[in-house]
């Protein structure tokens, strides 16, 4: 397993070498310096970066080349000294099965020899700020990188993805069609509040999705999105939905529930919970109710007559 957990949080050590000492490391080719990185703990790489002027910047670029690597975890974290220069992560690991990326500062993720990744956890905005739109002309290269990244993980079977990553990909989908994820069976999404209108865009390209878990981020926020208007396709493969965030009865929340019920002909179970204000003295025990029983008042039509609603 290769992990890049603490790099951005560790400050380089100060050099104690005399000013006149020759910096021999800087004369080495980049490929050799990067090979040294891969054979040292990340903290050691960062703490000794003062030994070479080129070492200081190269440790922030990650190149992983392995024919046998099964797990890759990249967690750059946040560090106030991390500069705004473009950084990249390049992965060439055809046997990779588990991929985790948690990094808002790296601008480019390159996946070569697309692996058959089984499980992925994606949390990145590709170093895009809210002021930089993928629609701007000078972001054409960024859109191409996002496209290639999505193609590189398009064989994944189980994926977790953050709200911020979804927002970038949602913006991308306004200009270019998303690749189809034919192997994806389980999707876990962590939404900020008022961002659930993005969901149909992604469900359309998950042709064989069976399980959907809708969560919320730790710090929900208001976000202004341009909603893509289009006719939505049926979610023919979807069987299980778990909405982890307690519903408060807001219009957008109810729209999501209605969308799932109206477009999922084979849905077997929808699990959800309500805030106390909506329970109206309801039993605290878990109840298994028929679709018609629980949605008489909410007035939701349904496409799957056999679907059960689990109210937590």
Q: Domain segments of the chain: what residues? A: 67-311
pLDDT at 94 over 80: yes
Summarised one tens digit per residue, pLDDT across range 274-283 is 766 555 545 4
| Gap between the Cα atoms of 253 and 195, Å rounded | 10
Q: What's the average model confidence in pLDDT over 110-136?
A: 75
Sorting pLDDT into bands at 50, 70 and 90, what band is 218?
Answer: low
**What is the average pLDDT score of the chain?**
72
Which carries the bigger pLDDT value, residue 226 or residue 123? 123
User: pLDDT digit string (tens) for 7-39?
Assistant: 444 344 444 445 545 556 666 666 666 666 656
Mean pLDDT of 215-243: 67
> Over the stretch 175-209, which tens digit does the pLDDT of each residue have?
888 899 999 999 998 876 556 777 888 888 898 99
Mean pLDDT of 280-303: 52
pLDDT confidence bin for 234, thresholds 50/70/90? confident
50 pLDDT higher than 80: no
pLDDT of residue 215: 81
Q: Taking 70 as the threshold, does the pLDDT of residue 49 lie above it?
A: no
Lowest mean pLDDT among 52-56, 110-114, 271-275, 293-297: 293-297
The encoded tokens of residue 130 equal 């809210």
| Residue 266 clears pLDDT 90, i.e. is over it | yes
Residue 94 burial (10 A CB sphere; 0-12, 13-18, 19+): middle
Q: Decide if pLDDT at 210 tops 90.
A: yes
Q: What is the mean pLDDT of residues 128-154?
A: 72
State residue 58's pLDDT score.
57
**3 state SS for the chain:** CEEECCHHHCCCCCCCCCCCCCCCHHHCCHHHHHHHHHCCCHHHHHHCHHHCCCHHHHCCCEEEECCCCCEEEEECCCCCCCCCCCCEEEEECCCCCEEEEECCCCCEEEEECCCCCCEEEEECCCCCCCCCCCCCHHHHHHHHHHHHHHHHCCCCCEEEEEHHHHHHHHHHHCCCCCCCCCCCCEEEEEECCCCHHHHHHHHCCCCCCCEEEEEECCCCCCCCCCCCCCCCCCCCCCCEEEECCCECCCHHHHHHHHHHHHCCCCCCEEEECECHHHHCCCCCCCEEEEHHHHCCCCCCCCCCCCCEEEEC
**Is the model more confident about 120 or about 289?**
120
- Global confidence as pTM: 0.72
What is the arithmetic mean of pLDDT over 56-79? Answer: 72
């Amino acid at each position: 397993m290769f992990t890049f957990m603490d790099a951005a949080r560790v400050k380089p050590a100060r050099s104690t070498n005399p000013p006149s000492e020759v910096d021999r490391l800087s004369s080495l080719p980049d490929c050799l310096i990067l090979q040294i990185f891969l054979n040292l703990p990340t903290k050691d790489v960062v703490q000794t970066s003062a030994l070479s002027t080129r070492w200081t910047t190269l440790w922030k670029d990650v190149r992983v080349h392995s024919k046998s690597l099964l797990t890759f975890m990249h967690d750059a974290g946040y560090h106030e000294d991390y500069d705004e220069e473009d950084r990249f992560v390049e992965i060439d690991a055809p046997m990779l099965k588990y991929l985790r990326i948690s990094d808002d500062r790296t601008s480019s993720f390159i996946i070569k020899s697309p692996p058959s990744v089984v499980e992925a956890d994606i949390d990145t905005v590709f170093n895009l700020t809210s002021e930089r739109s993928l629609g701007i002309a000078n972001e054409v290269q960024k859109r191409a990188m996002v496209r290639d990244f999505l193609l590189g993980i398009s064989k994944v079977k189980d994926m977790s993805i953050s709200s911020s990553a979804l927002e970038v990909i949602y913006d991308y989908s306004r200009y270019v069609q998303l690749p189809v994820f034919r192997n994806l069976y389980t999707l876990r999404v962590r939404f900020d509040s008022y961002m659930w209108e993005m969901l149909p865009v992604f469900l359309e390209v998950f042709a064989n999705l069976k399980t959907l878990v809708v969560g919320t981020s730790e710090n929900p926020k208001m976000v202004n999105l341009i909603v893509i208007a289009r006719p939505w396709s049926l979610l023919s493969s979807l069987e299980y939905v778990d909405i982890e965030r307690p519903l408060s009865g807001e219009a957008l929340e109810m729209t999501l529930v209605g969308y799932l019920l109206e477009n999922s002909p084979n849905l077997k179970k929808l699990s959800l919970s309500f805030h106390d204000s909506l329970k109206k003295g309801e039993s605290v025990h878990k109840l298994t109710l028929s679709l018609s029983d629980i949605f008489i008042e909410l007035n939701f039509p349904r496409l799957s007559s056999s679907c059960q609603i689990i109210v937590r």
